[in-house]
Amino acid sequence: MPDVPSSLPRSLQDLPPRWAHFCLGIERFVAEELGVELAGKRLAVGFSGGIDSTALLLSLRCLTARGGGRIVAAHLNHRLRPEADEDARWVAALCATLGVPCVIREADVATLAEDSGAGIEETGRQARYALYADVLTDHGADFVALGHHLDDLAEDVLMRLARGTAWPGLAGMSGRDDTRRLLRPLLLTPKAELAAFLAELGVPWREDASNEDQRWSRNRVRASLVPLFLRENPSFLDSVARLWRVGEMDRDYWGVQTASVGERIPNAVLSKAHRALRLRLYKAALDRLGSAQVLSDTLWGLDRAWQAHRVGAVFQFPGEKTAVVTSHGVVFSAKH
């Protein structure tokens, strides 16, 4: 286990000028592109001990010292690797050096996955987000900050492309999720810059060998597809950042256009709407009934049925949600 330094930067004044500007750039991104002022905020930080979350914790520690905010780290020991307990001890030691409170929870993810029938990745994700939700409540935090960076965003875009995700979801994960109160302050920061930040400051991080396991689709994308795109276009990550910005702009626009949608969308509204808007109205109505992936093909089928006046046509969506074409429009419902 790499030793935790006896002292670490706790404020912008403790950093070399280059890295103080780096941290201020993160603050500016969160304010200008995510719409959140960090000054005075209480933040929970998802902290695995890896390169991204270590850089995030350190940068937010320095920024909150300046703005009067507070942070608390949240670490889940998945108990999936022999090094998991050592990771947790390292996380606790680094947080103690930074003067950051740390919440560590254990979850037997393998057993939970077997019992539920869900995959290891999905079960681990659910366990982490359950921890984050509890830390938000218990510590009165405004947001949970996660360490996803630009390389992660590139992987996400390619995986969404492979799944056939529609626009603007194709532009990748959002930098801000108000439903789950998540922020991704590093989303347009390349991983190489995070590594340089920690290396110059002499801050170690934990390596997770499972990130090299080619059984997982994300790891295959990282190892094979991203390098291929970088060979074709050395500025591929910059292109992903531009795509993300356009996607966020369009996501915001369509959010405004669908803000007032309810469980019943009348013909008077649908008949005046372009198909692009109708499809997004349907999706917004379904999203308001609960989170679950909405299948684009089914949305298109619903719209064709409405156009053909197929009164009584029923469409099923994940999450036990239903859409019915009626003589008055389209009605959405969910089993509770």
The reply to whether 48 sits in an annotated binding site is yes
In the chain, the percentage of residues whose pLDDT exceeds 90 is 78
Assigned CATH topology for domain 12-232: Rossmann fold (3.40.50)
The reply to whether 50 sits in an annotated binding site is yes
Q: Give pLDDT, residue 303.
A: 98
- Amino acid found at 9: P
The reply to whether 175 sits in an annotated binding site is no
pLDDT band at 2 (very low <50, low <70, confident <90, very high): low
Q: Averaged over 138-151, what is the pLDDT?
A: 97
Q: Determine contact, residues 102/75, Cβ cutoff 8 Å.
A: yes
Q: Is 257 exposed, middle or buried (0-12, 13-18, 19+ CB in 10 A)?
A: middle
The reply to whether 51 sits in an annotated binding site is yes
Beta bridge partners of 75: 104
pTM: 0.91
The reply to whether 49 sits in an annotated binding site is yes
Q: Give pLDDT, residue 1.
A: 58
The reply to whether 104 sits in an annotated binding site is no
Both tokens assigned to 293: 């992936």
* Helix (H), strand (E) counts: the chain: 13, 10
